[in-house]
Structure 1
Amino acid sequence: MNRNIYRSLVILSFLGVVIIALFGISQVLAYLGSGADRSSMLHVALNKEKVYVPKVIWKDTINPGRPIEEQTILDIEKDYLNAWYVRNVAYQNNELKAIDDYYTASAMQNIESTIAANVSNNLSIHSTTVAHNISLDFYSADGQLAVITDSGVKAFQHIYQQNELLFQTEDITNYQVLLLLEDGYWRIRHLVKKENDEMITPQISNGFAKVVDNKIYVKDKEYQLKGINYYPQKTPWDMFGENFDIEVIGQDFDIIHDAGLNTIRVFVPYEAFGKAKVDPEKLEKLKLLLDTALSKEIMVVVTLFDFYGDYSVLDWTLTHRHAEQIISVFKDHKAILAWDVKNEPNLDFESRGKENVTGWLKEMIAQIKQYDPNHLITIGWSDMKSASILQNEVDLVSFHYYLDIDMFSNSFEELQKQIDKPMVLQEFGLSSNKGFWSPFGPSETTQAEYHEQFQTLIKQYNVHFLSWTLYDFENVPSSVVGRLPWRKHKQKHFGFINASGEKKKAFKHISN
């Protein structure tokens, strides 16, 4: 009996191995029979999650001969943009991956020679294009050839030698492009530069919010910014998530308004909002918040790229679409005072490179101005030392201050000598974190004394301010301050209202 069982197990095991082997062979044959997956050649170029989404406008698709089909236009656009992207990747990595999928053999020669020159000189070119305005010049009767003009192509290049940035360039160029349909894909046969005879006309501000003689004006009335950084108490760093509650937010706005404040600062988390494809539900929640603020006579500074940290040139088009989808919706909203491009970007200088970060900031400011001429623009620097960076690009110079309060006057007076624009003390505060994790930390009394002293300084220098923050929090995400309990404990106690909803001693000094 045992021998028969043993024989049966051996036979079943053999059959199982044979079945698995046959299945594996069939999968390999099926793959080889279908041809290589184009996305595997350069997975970033054709990934399901788009990584290159420049602004594309078809200005003209009328062909005097054969009318062009809508699907053909989509196919040309897709393959044409992929051609730009794989070329950018090739110049960055000095590799020819996927180039032959989007360029004919003759068109590849220029790319190959450029890469050869880069390799011999230890160079790499990090580049992207952010805008294309396409017109159809010719579409052949047999549907195999198309000629387009791509005008106002805005391109950026960062040139590196052995990982050291040599210089950055920005260019706007026109191209005439001949594409051939081969193997079901549109490949570039010729890409020729043309004279740039088009001018980009900037939008003119309607004057809703502006700066004149170092003073902020809203609807032609001088505006003194007196405010606070805001998260609901139960949903810090996740205000627009599943537990979004506009009634709670409205009640908080009443508290803020009744305390003598007129402005709040809120944060748009880049990934949570959908990155290049912004979630319409998130936009609706932001609209509810702005509408409520307007009804409560509170203005809003909106920080656009919270928890963003890439800055690489190849990533720029994604951030452009993120900004465009938000700003184009709210460019006329009367609750918005300013767009804050990024919270504390100087903290990324060491890890991402100062030139990369400031280059992205400068271009993002240009994008915001393109879509919204009605509101002010600022950057939330983490300290005074960085505040003068890009000061000529912004309307308001914003900085944070968490150092010794007794050093504020000297530092601020030095900054005043460098900057000739309105300055916003965008974050400041003291945590009343005395307790088990900080036995010698500040008490609520010390916190109140700190804010009393700071309001005296604010009044003395007539500086615009946004304190941190309305509430103490019961939970602080590890992604904000890390997992160390004493760091979380400190972050929980910056508020003017404690976790039980009671006003702390500092509340009477929330405004001057």
Structure 2
Amino acid sequence: MVTLNKNILRGILILSFVAINALIIFGISALFTYLNTGADRSKMLHTEIQKIDQYLPTMDWAPMANEGRPMDKQTLGELESNYLDAWYVKHVAYNTNLREGIEDFYTESSRENIFNFIDLNKQQGITLEETTLEHHPKLNFFSEDGQLIMLTDNNVKEYKRVYQNKKLVEETIETATYKVLLLLEDGFWRVRHMVKTDATPNHKYHNKQHTKTGTIHGINYYPKNTPWDMFGENFEIDTIQQDFKLIHDAGLNTVRIFVPYEDFGKAKVKDEKLVKLKKVLDAAAKENIKVLITLFDFYGDYSVLDWTLNQRHAETIVKACKDHSALLGWDLKNEPDLDFKSRGKSTVEAWLRTMLELVKTTDPNHPVTIGWAKPVSAPLLKDEVDFVSFHYYEDLNQFENTYTQLKKEIPNKQLVVGEFGMSSYSGLWKPFGSSEEDQANYHKNIQSTFEKYNISYISWTLYDFENIPKEVVGSLPWRKNVQKKFGFIDKNGAKKASFDYISSSGTTEE
């Protein structure tokens, strides 16, 4: 027994010795391999900037007629990517007053000026929010050895907000030209020189006005079973087609629908979502109904660094739908004035102006509006929009006075009541709420005012809903339950008393 135990112990010691030596040899081998392998660029440099779409201004290259070496497609793609990354990291650095990322896209001599600027801003409590929206580069020279590029970036459209001690002190929009020299280092095109020339203020927006859209008799629309998720997995075009027939037969000529920003893919709009959107437009055309498309639903950031992503999102959707016969126009954003407190009024308005310009430039043939949440916001940007849209959930007795006062303040634009209605909820969470009879009287009375002044309107909404996402009104039951019963048709598909007043007697003007 003693001999057996000694043999077992001897075997364990031998195996341990072999295992330790194997680990030592493996470690030396791994170290040798590491020392003889180049550094991993994806870890050494901030290449996450290139892997995620964070900055997508328009890039419109002039035809290639450069001196020196011909430019191939792959190199041009790498150049454009690195060049835009250089702009982006500089925007971030000036916003945060940190140096991160600058060394990756600027040469040693070039980055020194940027670092000095950051240090000076930090001392003075200055930060910048800035972006470029358009670039029009022309390649001037590509060296024979493939190591140096000279280009002229013409008519760069820039937006900048300057803050000192967190207070906005300046806002500028300008167009400038840049002379740029780039060197190839470590596989990256780095900026060696960037000289700004010919900078001019640019406060003019595309402002072709559409003064007449016809009298709108419409309704905000979601399918009964998929509210706030119209284009999701349970998309059913047959149901939508039946609803549009019902809407048309009720005497209405317009539906307002909503395109959720993230659900549609943000900057990279999903093809399958566009297919569904076009099917909705086709269904509307079959019933001779016009469609007002509301963009940027469930979006509320407005950050300047997001603007180029927002533009690519809107540009894709507008291009896809702008020639459809059912399109009435574009509602840029639903109730952006509700974001004034959290995001800042000036920031939201600047974003709206920029997106208005983009939509109008992309589709100059259809009107653009903004769906303000409150009548008091209606005069904002009145000169930029084609018709003024505001929502009204306030005292019905004050509506006529509110409308006539707005008409005096905005005499040359069509006013559209883009949302209005009354919930028929009365229950545990609102015991003194309104009945279906109260709802019917509300619509009867407001329709009489619409007829009196020939007011365009879009009511809220066709159906009562069983489920309200918390993103819409939050989780509080007294808010969610009230929101469920604004419809003209109840959850069982029966028409409520208010359905008799879903429309006025007006007709569409051509």
Instruction: Tell me the TM-score normalised to structure 2 length.
Output: 0.90
Say yes or no: does 1:432 pair with 2:417: no
- The answer (yes or no) to whether the contact 1:41–1:97 under 8 Å persists in 2 is no
Aligned to 1:50, which of 50, 53, 76?
53
C-alpha deviations, 1:62-102, integer Å up to 9, x for none?
33432112111011001000000000011101111111111
Query: One-letter code of the match for 1:500?
Result: N
Q: Distance in 2 between matches of 1:44 and 1:161?
A: 30
1:358 aligns with 2:349: yes
Larger Rg: 2
What SS is found at the alignment partner of 2:60? Answer: strand
1:211 aligned partner, one-letter code: H
User: Which of the numbers 481, 485, 494 marks the counterpart of 2:486?
Assistant: 494
Match of residue 130, structure 1, among 125, 130, 133: 133
Go from structure 1 to structure 2 and tell me whether the alpha carbon gap of 1:201 and 1:429 turns closer, same or farther (over 3 Å shift): closer
More displaced 10-residue stretch of structure 1: 312-321 or 24-33: 24-33
Match of 2:377 in 1: 386
Answer yes or no: is 1:96 the counterpart of 2:99: yes
Gap runs ≥5 in structure 2: 505-510
- CA deviations over 1:29-73 (Å, ceiling 9, x no partner): 999966365578657623x33111111122222334321121110
Q: Which runs of 5+ in 1 are unaligned?
A: 218-222
Please name the residue that 1:146 is paired with: 149
SS in 2 for 1:190: strand
Q: Tell me how many residue pairs correspond in the alignment.
A: 492
Query: Which residue among 108, 119, 141 is the counterpart of 2:122?
Result: 119
CA separation of 1:472 and 1:40: change in aligned 2, threshold 3 A: farther
Secondary structure at the aligned position of 1:333 is classed as coil
Structure 2 Cα separation of the partners of residues 278 and 458 of structure 1: 38
C-alpha separation between the residues in 2 aligned to 1:433 and 1:114? 59
Question: Post-superposition shift, 1:111?
Answer: 1.1
Q: Aligned equivalents of 1:173 and 1:480: distance in 2?
A: 42
Note if contact 1:265-1:302 (Cα within 8 Å) is conserved in structure 2.
yes
| 2:509 aligned with 1:510 | no
Task: Determine the C-alpha separation between the residues in 2 that align with 1:265 and 1:24.
Answer: 66
Aligned residue for 1:116, secondary structure, equals helix
| 2:70 alignment partner in structure 1 | 67
Paired residue for 1:158? Answer: 161
Report the AA paired with residue 35 of structure 1. A
8 Å contact from structure 2 (residues 45, 104) kept in 1: no
Aligned to 2:330: 339
| 1:171 lines up with 2:177 in the alignment | no
Query: 1:111-145, CA deviations, whole angstroms, 9 ceiling, x for partnerless residues?
Result: 12221221121100110111111211111100000
Asked if residue 458 in structure 1 is aligned to residue 461 in structure 2, the reply is no
SS of structure 2 residue aligned to 1:430: coil
How has the CA–CA distance of structure 1 residues 28 and 508 changed in structure 2, closer, same or farther, with 3 Å as cutoff?
A: farther
CA distance in 2 between counterparts of 1:25 and 1:461 reads 88
Change (3 A) 1:201 1:416: closer
Candidates 264, 277, 296, aligned match of 1:305: 296
- Counterpart of 1:298, as a letter, is I
CA shift, 1:21, in A, is: 13
Which whole-Å deviations, capped at 9, do the CAs of 1:457-485 have from their partners, x for residues lacking one?
A: 11122211000000001111111111222
Structural RMSD (CA): 3.1
Instruction: Quote the residue 1:476 is aligned against.
Output: 468
Counterpart amino acid of 2:149?
A: A
| Residues 490 and 24 of structure 1, relative CA distance in 2, 3 Å threshold | farther
TM (norm. structure 1) is 0.89
**8 Å contact 1:39–1:45 — kept in the other structure?**
no
Measured in 2, the distance between the counterparts of 1:465 and 1:441 equals 25
* Structure 1 residues 1-12: aligned runs within 5 Å: none
State the identity as a percent. 50
CA distance in 1, matches of 2:331, 2:308: 19
What letter is aligned with 1:265? R
SS of the counterpart of 1:475? Answer: coil
